[in-house]
Amino acid sequence: MTLSANQMELREDDIQAHYDAAMAMLDGLDHTPRLARGAKAPAAERSSGIGTRRRFRSTTPGLVTRSTARPEGVHLLGRIEALGDDPLISPAQATLLRVLRRALAIGLALAEAYSDATGLAALKKTNFRGALGDDKRTLFTEQLVAEALIALHGFANALSFLLADQASETTVEIGEVEEVLTDNAPLALHGALWELDQDIAQHSTDTAHLIATVLAYAEQLMEKVSLRAQTAPQLDAFTQAAYRIDADDLTIQGFTPASRATGQTLTMQFKKPHEVVGNHIAKYQAQRLAKMLMAYDFDRRLNPFADLGGFIFTFMGDGAPGTGKTTLIQMMAGLIHDYCQIAGYPFRYQNLSTENIDSYQGKSGQNAKAFINTVIDPSVIGFGTVDDIDQLAGKRGDRQSSAGQLEITAVLMESFAGANTVIRGNCTFGMFSNYPENVDDALRQRAGARFLVDGPQTREDYIDILSLLMGRSHDIPVGTHELFAAQEIKSAVTASFASHNRPQEDGLLKVFDQVHSDVGALDTVAKLGTYLKAIQEADERFTGRAIKNITDAVKVRAMDFELPDEWMEEPELFLFQPYDRKRAMIEELRQPITTEMVIQEINRYADSEFRYADKSDEVAIEDAVRDMARMEEARRRYGDSQ
């Protein structure tokens, strides 16, 4: 077994040592709810003389077979076994019970590991003797809270991970988890099992709903505990380490939900770079980003490009309908998929679509959060896309935006550039839209890079795309044209970048010419800053975040080199090198930042913002004109009817 620098093994013996305690909790416990409003559903009434347990007990290996009948308390084992009409429990029920025992044992083992590492175990013994001094009471209380949060999240995390294979299309809405206690680890787990028992009683009518209920509860519990952990002290010993459980292929990384390191089978039709006609800068950046992702180091859980400041975590591709956004996605996904196949890396592609908007309150946000968590999983190479984001994410203040759309907007904003956003460099997110002016301003500005997807532009582009789409089933000669020569990426990109030495939008061009006239050539940081301030005065939405996106793009330009194809084709040359060696190899290729780069990136970014603003204003004016015309016609018809 190979562990990375910050990984520790959670030994199987340490987990199984808690099996008896875990089984006792499932067997029966007494708990009075403290935070929950009470039982979520009344216990089902039974006629006199009808038992509440099955006639036969399961002989599944590893399960306790003694009687657990008690007049009061929580009997989760009995609750699960009693579901259904068959006197024998189903394989799914048996699996769930084993997973529950295992997950509880993992939660307890994680809490014990934390207790041993921080000295909490010694404080417990001192407190038991009544010898705990006043100077230690605050630390003792804070560490007990931390231990309880670790036990709860470890339990829910393992439960969700180990039960994932049993999931079906059935879903259950359980509402918010309430009984989250933090006095100590055992009491916290008692409260969790009490609430899980309540949810099962209310929602589990069959095995499919049983599994769905448990998975929904685990997800909600993880989310609630993660929020608590953001402000809880004394958690560094847990969050700065990773615990590896080899038997389950499970890695516990702080309060991040674990997921299996397997990539989904992609059924999309991949495109080769030469099949993307036009869109030179977008195509070039997509190709480079695909190779950047492959530099990710799974042991260090960090990408040298992210470490050095030249990684694109989020980008926006915009253009008119039919200009090639879908083709660009197919090309980039195909490149990453092929590179991962060669290296043996798990690749995960996920798309967030309008199907994820749900009428149930909170469900749209959950769907968006699940999408984010699937892609950012540090054990895979991830590529997430949000197609037609103007339809999916609502614009705040727009009365036509549904509650579900606004939920998705909030989740994406927090995930792409929130206080807890961690950029490891193993994944990237692309937002695509035909109408980016309809995207919420704050969300749009969270796109660190802009890919203008403008489609074929030149005569050569149109000849190439016609030949490509017609295929080979014809005898029409090509004529005086060298097919796909215009798509040679390096020369096309050089020309595309050079075109941004001056702005392309009329509004920005006026600002550029005025500043150039006032201060001369933009060859110092002070003059460049003057230009940025003039842009802000012309468009108040050009804020500090825009400057950050521009400087990030400049750093990416400093990494404006092509990782050799042989590095992808022969992983031993680069991909399988130690992290420090990969970082050094990349630094050797890094180029110096020039004023020309900075001017071009300012103009590229500001051009896009002015383009969005102009379109937005024009759309608003056209809508107002149509409204006025309708009112005028209504007045005319009303006058004629009198």
Residue 152 confidence (pLDDT) = 96
Angle between helices 134-163 and 120-128 (to 10 degrees): 120
Q: In the numeric block, which tokens belong to residue 166?
A: 């049993």
Tally Cβ neighbours within 10 Å of residue 192: 27
- Beta strands per DSSP E along 138-276: 242-245, 250-253
**For range 215-240, the mean pLDDT:** 90
What would the two tokens of residue 284 be? Answer: 């070039």
Q: Where in the chain is the domain with CATH 3.40.50.300?
A: 273-619
Gap between the Cα atoms of 78 and 438, Å rounded: 54
- What does the pLDDT read at residue 488? 58
From CA 177, how far away is CA 192, in angstroms rounded?
Answer: 9
| Dist. CA 472–CA 470, nearest whole Å | 7
pLDDT value for 615: 59
Q: What pLDDT sits at residue 271? A: 65
**Mean pLDDT to the nearest integer, 446-469:** 77
Give the integer Cα–Cα distance in Å for 68 and 56.
Answer: 13
348 beta partners: 382
Q: DSSP for 23-82?
A: HHHHH-B----SSS-S-SSPPPP--TT--SS-SS----TTS--S----SSSB-HHHHHHT
Tokens of 496: 């595309």
Looking at per-residue pLDDT, the higher value among 625 and 194 belongs to 194
Counting Cα atoms < 13 Å in the Cβ hemisphere of 266 gives 25
- DSSP SS3 for 611: helix
What is the predicted pLDDT for the residue at 66?
38
Q: How far is CA 230 from CA 43, 227, 254, 440, 575, in A?
A: 36, 5, 11, 27, 34
Distance between CA atoms of 159 and 88, rounded to whole angstroms? Answer: 23
Residue 264 has what DSSP assignment? P
Task: Give Cα separations from 170 to 162, 207, 364 (angstroms).
Answer: 18, 10, 17
Q: What is the spatial distance between Cα 339 and Cα 106, in angstroms, rounded to a whole number?
A: 35
Q: Is the dihedral of CA 36, 37, 40, 43 positive or negative?
A: positive
- Mean per-residue pLDDT, 355-365: 78
| pLDDT number for residue 426 | 94
Q: How is residue 438 annotated by DSSP? A: G
Per-residue confidence (pLDDT) for residue 620, from 0 to 100 = 65
For 546-600, how does the pLDDT look when each residue is reduced to its tens digit (9 = 90+)?
888 888 888 877 876 778 888 888 889 999 999 999 999 988 888 888 899 899 8
Contacts of 305 (CB under 8 A, 6+ apart): 292, 295, 311, 425, 559, 586
Please name the residues in contact with 75: beta carbons below 8 A apart, sequence gap of 6 or more.
27, 28, 68, 197
- The dihedral over CA atoms of 579, 581, 587, 589, expressed in degrees to the nearest 10, equals -120
**Averaged pLDDT, 24-45:** 72
pLDDT in the model for residue 71 = 36
β-bridge mates for residue 398, sequence order = none
What band does 132 get if pLDDT is binned at 50, 70 and 90? confident
Burial 24-42 (b: 16+ CB within 10 A, else e): ebbbbbebebeebeeebee
Cα–Cα nearest to 280, from 494, 72, 45? 494
pTM over 0.75: no
Helical axes 489-498 vs 280-293, angle rounded to 10°: 120
Residues in contact with 118: Cβ distance below 8 Å, sequence separation at least 6, in sequence order: 143, 146, 234, 237
Residue 383 or 553, more confident = 383
Is pLDDT of 15 > 80? Answer: yes
Torsional class of 351: left (φ above 0), alpha (ψ -120 to 50), beta (otherwise): beta
CA pair distance 29, 216, nearest whole angstrom: 23
Look at residue 489 in the predicted model and tell me its pLDDT.
58
- Tell whether the model's pLDDT for residue 127 goes beyond 60: yes
Task: Please say if the pLDDT value at position 67 is more than 90.
Answer: no
pLDDT at 370 over 90: no
Cβ 253 vs Cβ 242: under 8 Å: yes
Token pair listed for 452: 């203008």
**Confidence (pLDDT) at 487:** 61
pLDDT at 61: 37
Q: What is the reported pLDDT for 142?
A: 93
Task: Give per-residue pLDDT as tens, 148-160.
Answer: 999 999 999 999 9
- pLDDT at 432 > cutoff 80: yes
Which comes out higher in pLDDT, residue 490 or 417? 417
pLDDT at position 501 is: 85
Tell whether the model's pLDDT for residue 14 goes beyond 80.
yes
Name the least confident of 128-137, 347-356, 468-477.
468-477
Span 511-556, pLDDT tens digits:
999 999 999 999 999 999 999 999 999 888 788 878 888 888 888 7
pLDDT confidence tier of residue 294, bands split at 50, 70 and 90: very high
For the chain, what is the mean pLDDT? 82
Give SS3 for 314. Answer: strand
Specify the CATH architecture of the domain 273-619: 3-Layer(aba) Sandwich (3.40)
Distances (CA, A) of 629 to 400, 542, 618, 623, 635: 22, 34, 16, 10, 10
| 40-49, 197-206, 216-225, 288-297: range with lowest mean pLDDT | 40-49
Write the CA distances from 132 to 119, 141, 146, 184, integer angstroms: 13, 11, 19, 17
